[in-house]
Amino acid sequence: MSLPDPTSTPAPIRPPASGDDSPTLPAIEGGGIALSVVSPAHNEEENVRRLVDEVESACGSTPGGWEFIIVDDGSTDSTRRIVLDLMHARPWLRCLAMTRTPPGRGNGQSAAFHAGFRAARGRLIAVLDADLQNDPADLPAMIDLLRARRADMVQGDRSHARKDNAVRRAGSIVGRLFRRMILGDSIRDTGCSLRVMKREVALQLPLEFAGMHRFIPVAARHMGYGVVEMPVHHRARLAGTTKYGFGITKRAIPGLVDCFAVRWMSRRRRPVGSEELTPGEAGKAESSRSGYARHASGNAAEPARVGGPL
């Protein structure tokens, strides 16, 4: 399937299906490993082997080191056992098991992302779902775009190519309208889990709150980070069952409440910074106060890019 090629956003670059000519990701200087890929999984025994193979194909030649963290979120099938078996021949593969998990349920994507981000060692953190609807082959191009645009996060956009049923597509459209009205949010597809971000961004996201994974790019922008979007591939689920619920009480009302919660947090947030001074450096304090005034006067919904080069 061909993707649209808007002038402002390059189309994804897909690696070859086989052979040794797969594109490599650029090395990232400054310590640590280059890349961590994080994927929450709940009862994905039919997909996890192929997921590991596809992520390795896309990211396996990353200079500077990489890792793939699968966060097992309360699976009751063989997902965890399969991942542990695969780890024997794959030193870059890690399994993180969520604790305090309700019987027969998971903690949810927000909690799984929160745990995965804090276990990650990469200077860049990539995220994708474990159900194989996200295409890991898009990750190298997303990292290229992040560097080229000097951004802090690249958010995937499936809106042109979604393979979900009509109910889920309609729900996404309604959710996008609510976000635009309540939050002033212009991001087309905040529900797409496929994204790449700098480590510093991932560690500041308020993912201890259930449902916040749906607002990751919005929260990043409200914190002053530069977020760009890129069209990505989207595939139909081949195996397993969706973990999403439908209906007004399961998603619509909680989603609307979450929008107002994010709005409240955004309005209450204040930029905080500090700098240790020594005698005779009063000028630095004056500079810090003027910098705060410049930052506070900006538009929180659409800030200028503040991230520097990797």
Q: Which tokens in the block code for residue 280?
A: 């005779």
pLDDT score for 80? 96
pLDDT at residue 239, as a whole number: 73
Is 285 among the domain residues? no
- pLDDT for position 102: 76
Q: What is the mean pLDDT of the chain?
A: 76
- Residue 3: inside a domain, yes or no? no
Q: Is the dihedral of CA 105, 107, 110, 115 positive or negative?
A: negative
Please report where in the chains the tokens 């039919």 appear, as a residue: 46
Lowest mean pLDDT among 170-179, 229-238, 283-292: 283-292
pLDDT per position as a tens digit, 142-179: 999 999 999 999 999 987 765 555 555 555 666 666 66
Comparing CA positions, the residue from 194, 82, 46 lying closest to residue 129 is 194
pLDDT of residue 219: 86
User: What is the average per-residue pLDDT within 90-116?
Assistant: 90
More confident: 229 or 243: 229
- The fraction of the chain above a pLDDT of 70, given in percent, is 61
Q: Average of pLDDT values for 48-69? A: 95
The CATH number of the domain where 117 resides is what?
3.90.550.10
**pLDDT tops 80 at residue 117:** yes
How many CB atoms neighbour CB 3 within 10 A? 18
Which has more pLDDT, 252 or 227?
A: 227
Residue predicted with more confidence, 284 or 307: 284
Residue 28: inside a domain, yes or no? no
Using a pLDDT cut of 90, give the percent of the chain over it.
41
Say if 8 falls within a structural domain: no
Whether residue 66 is contained in a domain is answered as yes
Mention every residue, 6+ apart, whose C-beta is less than 8 A from residue 89: none
Q: Which domain covers residue 43, as residue numbers?
A: 33-267
- The answer to whether 102 and 74 are in contact (CB under 8 A) is yes
Q: Tell me, what's the pLDDT at 299?
A: 41
CA distance 226 to 221: 6
Cα pseudo-dihedral 216, 291, 309, 298, rounded to 10: 40
pTM for this prediction: 0.70
Provide the pLDDT for residue 63. Answer: 85
At 18, the pLDDT band (50, 70, 90 cuts) reads: very low
C-alpha distances in Å from residue 27, one per residue of 93, 142, 244, 277, 288:
19, 14, 36, 35, 34
- Asked whether residue 6 is domain-assigned, the answer is no
pLDDT at 172: 60
Relative to beta strand 66-72, strand 93-97 is: parallel
| Higher per-residue confidence, 27 vs 188 | 188
The reported pLDDT for the residue numbered 174 is 61
Inside any domain, residue 7: no
What's the pLDDT at 218?
Answer: 87
- For every residue of the chain, which 3-state class applies, written as one string? CCCCCCCCCCCCCCCCCCCCCCCCCCCCCCCCEEEEEEEEECCCCCCHHHHHHHHHHHHCCCCCCEEEEEEECCCCCCHHHHHHHHHCCCCCEEEEECCCCCCCCCCCHHHHHHHHHHHCCEEEEEECCCCCCECHHHHHHHHHHHHHCCCCEEEEECCCCCCCCHHHHHHHHHHHHHHHHHHCCCCCCCCCCCEEEEHHHHHHCCCCCCCHHHHHHHHHHHCCCCEEEEECCECCCCCCCCCCCCCHHHHHHHHHHHHHHHHHHHHHCCCCCCCCCCCCCHHHHHHHHHHHHHHHCCCCCCCCCCCCCC
Each residue's pLDDT tens digit, 192-213: 899 999 999 999 998 877 777 7
Amino acid (one-letter) located at 93: L
Domain-located, residue 84: yes
Confidence of residue 47 (pLDDT cuts 50, 70, 90): very high
Structure tokens at 11: 């189309």
Checking if the pLDDT of 65 tops 80, the result is: yes
Per residue in 237-285, pLDDT tens? Answer: 777 566 554 454 556 667 666 765 666 666 666 666 778 888 876 666 5
- The tally of domains found in the chain comes to 1
Give the span between the Cα atoms of 31 and 26, in whole angstroms: 14
> Which pLDDT band, with edges at 50, 70 and 90, does 100 fall under?
confident
